[in-house]
Amino acid sequence: MQQFFQTADLIKILDTIDNRTLNICDAYFSFIRNTRIRFGLYPLIGNIGTGSFVAYSLSQNGSETVMFEFTNGGIIGANLLFGDSGKYPLNIYCLTDCLLLHMTKVAVLELLKNYSFVMRYIQSLSQNSQ
């Protein structure tokens, strides 16, 4: 699994942003192993600081199908952030203890002014479409 953002690199990028803008980055959330994550109804993405998650779907009969695995530096929801729904269609589950940075759409729009962030974001979008 490819790592798009080293935590230290993301911190450097975030350091270039005005502190008022950082208020729209929700925060780091810590999750323990075997926790189900809910992204809610408002558009945001998650950048994984540590740990690993799986995205899975449930069929009507209750069986699950793992669609993606996200690890350190990965981005959850990057391909959906600017769509009409703004809601992540899959369930997210922690495989290990995890640290996740929630970023709102407004925060990502600000980060997209940074070339390094743009290139990694595009790389993530491309990888998630394969």
Residue 21 confidence (pLDDT): 45
Domain 7-123 has CATH 2.60.120.10: yes
Distance CA 39, CA 27 (A): 13
Angle at 91 between CA 47 and CA 57, to 5 degrees: 130
Contact in structure between 117 and 65 (CB atoms under 8 Å) = no
Pick 130 or 123 by higher pLDDT: 123
Contact in structure between 1 and 90 (CB atoms under 8 Å) = no
Contact in structure between 68 and 55 (CB atoms under 8 Å) = yes
Range from 27-41, 53-67, 105-119 carrying the lowest mean pLDDT: 27-41
Q: Reply yes or no on whether the pLDDT at 24 is more than 50.
A: no
Task: From residue 106, give the alpha-carbon distance in Å to each of 26, 42, 60.
Answer: 11, 11, 35
Q: What is the pLDDT of residues 48-105, one digit of tens each?
A: 667 788 888 888 888 888 888 887 777 777 777 777 765 667 788 788 877 777 777 7
Phi-psi bin for 123: left (phi > 0), alpha (psi -120 to 50), beta? Answer: alpha
Could you tell me the pLDDT band of residue 47, with boundaries at 50, 70 and 90?
low
The arithmetic mean of pLDDT across residues 6-26, rounded, is 53
Distance CA 3, CA 5 (A): 6
